[in-house]
């Protein structure tokens, strides 16, 4: 199902956006040396509620369109890895540009 494939990507984008807001940008020691992304969340639209499961135990699923735009000076680069295809979860690292080079 497309929703199950897109959900991890949306989750990574949301986590990165929250991390960017929480860290508050560059500190005084690194100001000017880092080019950081700045994610702008669009208002969700196209709300859809679908019903699945049996009539006795219905399951409701909420779907919506969501978009994020990078309005910052730096690119949003996320690298993900896992030990093998049989591992269900991945580790994601955000890379930032520092002094013209990418660093994790």
Residue among 21, 23, 11 nearest 80 (CA): 11
Give per-residue pLDDT as tens, 11-70: 666 666 666 666 655 444 445 578 889 999 999 999 999 999 999 999 999 999 999 999
Q: How confident is the model at residue 97 (pLDDT cuts 50, 70, 90)?
A: confident
Considering the entire predicted model, what is its pTM? 0.48
Helix (H, G, I), strand (E, B) or coil at 8: helix
Give per-residue pLDDT as tens, 58-83: 999 999 999 999 999 889 999 999 99
Is residue 78 within 8 A of residue 92, CB to CB? The reply is yes
Domain boundaries along the sequence of the chain: 2-24+32-103
Q: Where are the alpha helices (DSSP H) in 1-104?
A: 2-23
Give me the phi and psi of 10, to 5 degrees please.
-60, -40
């Amino acid at each position: 199902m497309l929703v199950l494939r897109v959900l991890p990507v949306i989750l990574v984008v949301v986590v990165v956006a929250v991390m960017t807001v929480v860290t508050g940008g560059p500190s005084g020691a690194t100001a000017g040396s880092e080019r950081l992304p700045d994610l702008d969340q669009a208002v969700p639209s196209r709300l859809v509620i679908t019903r699945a499961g049996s009539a006795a135990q219905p399951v409701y699923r909420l779907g919506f369109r969501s978009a994020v735009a990078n309005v910052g000076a730096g690119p949003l680069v996320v690298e993900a890895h896992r030990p093998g295809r049989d591992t269900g979860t991945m580790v994601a690292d955000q890379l930032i540009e520092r002094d013209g080079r990418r660093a994790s």
